């Protein structure tokens, strides 16, 4: 499953910088950690200047339907933080989901 989002980050510890190393929808796991870690210094609002795209498994959304859930953020100490609940908008067309592993892929003649 692929999910993308944009976010601003802040935390309330006045003495510690937090570095986000992973992010994924609740109920899934990342296939890869973030390529560009997100550094959040104390008492600063960090605006990420690009979308954060994640490839995760298992698929928790249903084809053709929006998905509501939370993003789990993981810092350099492997501590986990949950976002508030958001609705992620389905952006695929009808029939764009990948075939299941048991469905054979047709081969051209």
Say if pTM beats, i.e. exceeds, 0.85.
Answer: no
Structural class in CATH, domain 2-88: mainly beta
Closest CA to 88 of 51, 45, 38: 51
Which residues are 87's β-sheet partners? Answer: 68
**pLDDT computed for residue 101 by the predictor:** 47
**pLDDT computed for residue 44 by the predictor:** 92
Domain ranges of the chain: 2-88
pLDDT (tens digit, 9 = 90+) per residue, 5-43?
889 999 889 999 999 999 999 999 998 889 899 999 999
Higher pLDDT, residue 53 or 100 = 53
Q: Is the pLDDT of residue 98 over 70?
A: no
Closest CA to 43 of 9, 89, 67: 9
CB 42 within 8 A of CB 17: yes
Closest CA to 20 of 31, 8, 28: 8
In the chain the first and final C-alpha atoms are separated, in Å, by 30
pLDDT band at 103 (very low <50, low <70, confident <90, very high): very low
Q: How far is C-alpha 101 from the chain's CA centre?
A: 23
């Amino acid at each position: 499953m692929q999910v993308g989002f944009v976010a601003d980050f802040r935390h309330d510890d006045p003495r510690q910088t937090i570095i986000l190393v992973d992010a994924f929808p609740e109920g899934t796991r990342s296939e890869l950690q973030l390529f560009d870690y997100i550094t959040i210094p104390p008492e600063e609002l960090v605006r990420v200047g690009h979308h954060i795209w994640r490839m995760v498994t298992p698929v928790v959304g249903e084809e053709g339907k929006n998905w509501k859930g939370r993003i789990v953020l993981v810092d350099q100490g492997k501590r986990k933080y949950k976002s508030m609940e958001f609705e992620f908008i389905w952006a695929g067309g009808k029939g764009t989901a990948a075939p299941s592993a048991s469905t054979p892929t047709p081969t051209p003649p």
